[in-house]
């Protein structure tokens, strides 16, 4: 299972990278806005140490504008994956990008049929937003199971990025399903290592070690 880090915060990505947990990065306009820094500068900083796919979102609404952005963003770094929203205009761009060898990540996916369209258009990645589905009373993770089954049925190569992850159980459930990738917010990644019995166990071993006679 690949771990992408879902943030535009360079220091958070660096920390996760030093822990050996970064196979790629996903950003979106909201995450970039939080940083209050020039987008290009952020992207160059991330790309200076992340070699896996870095998702950069196009914000035009028409195919022509999105395609122009896709080519521009793709020229910035060697490992860009252009985030394209799940619309008919977006799907045209996904197809064109596939023809031009530009990686794409179809974003804002909320149904299995949308994911089917993304795969047929030739998307490199599709991002179903499970947390936002949970927010409106659906079980987001069921969508991941459905998409995974559909992609297996037809041998689609589009990789599923489980997105909008809110807590460690989302990562666990995604892993059980066998999702290709989870894009994990830094705070969720931090929590994944924790277990109270680990802390108690370490403390007990340290305390007992003090009792071992030294010579
Ligand atoms: C992923 O690519 C998205 O940017 C992200 O997971 C959205 O998460 P949110 O629903 O917490 O904003």
Residue located nearest, by CA, to atom 5 of ligand 1:
164
pLDDT value at residue 215: 84
Ligand 1 pocket, residue 183 CB under 6 Å: yes
Tens-place pLDDT, residues 130-156: 999 999 999 999 999 999 999 999 999
pLDDT digits (tens, 9 = 90+) for 12-60: 999 999 999 999 999 999 999 999 999 999 999 999 999 999 999 999 9
Is 37 tagged catalytic?
Answer: no
- Please identify which of the residues 2, 15, 37, 83 carries the catalytic annotation: 83
Q: Whose CA is nearest to atom 1 of ligand 1?
A: 163
pLDDT averaged over the chain? 98
pTM of the model: 0.95
Is the C-beta atom of 103 inside 6 A of ligand 1?
A: no
The interaxial angle of helices 39-47 and 63-76, nearest 10 deg, is 50
């Amino acid at each position: 299972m690949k771990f992408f880090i879902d943030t535009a915060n360079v220091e958070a990505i660096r920390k996760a990278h030093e822990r050996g947990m970064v196979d790629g990065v996903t950003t979106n306009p909201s995450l970039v806005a939080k940083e209050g820094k020039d987008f290009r500068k952020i992207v160059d900083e991330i790309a200076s140490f992340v070699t896996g796919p870095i998702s950069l979102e196009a914000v035009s609404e028409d195919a022509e504008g999105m395609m122009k952005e896709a080519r521009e963003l793709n020229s910035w770094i060697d490992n860009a994956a252009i985030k394209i929203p799940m619309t008919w205009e977006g799907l045209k761009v996904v197809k064109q990008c596939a023809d031009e060898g530009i990686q794409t990540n179809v974003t804002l996916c909320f149904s299995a049929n949308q994911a089917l369209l993304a795969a047929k258009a030739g998307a490199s990645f599709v991002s179903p937003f499970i947390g936002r589905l949970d927010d409106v009373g659906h079980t987001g993770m069921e969508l991941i199971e459905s998409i995974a089954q559909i992609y297996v049925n037809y041998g689609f190569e589009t990789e599923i990025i489980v997105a909008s992850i809110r807590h460690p159980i989302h990562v666990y459930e995604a892993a059980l399903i066998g999702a290709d990738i989870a894009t994990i917010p830094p705070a969720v990644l931090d929590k994944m290592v924790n277990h109270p019995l680990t802390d108690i166990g370490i403390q007990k071993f340290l305390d007992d070690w003090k009792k071992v006679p030294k010579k």
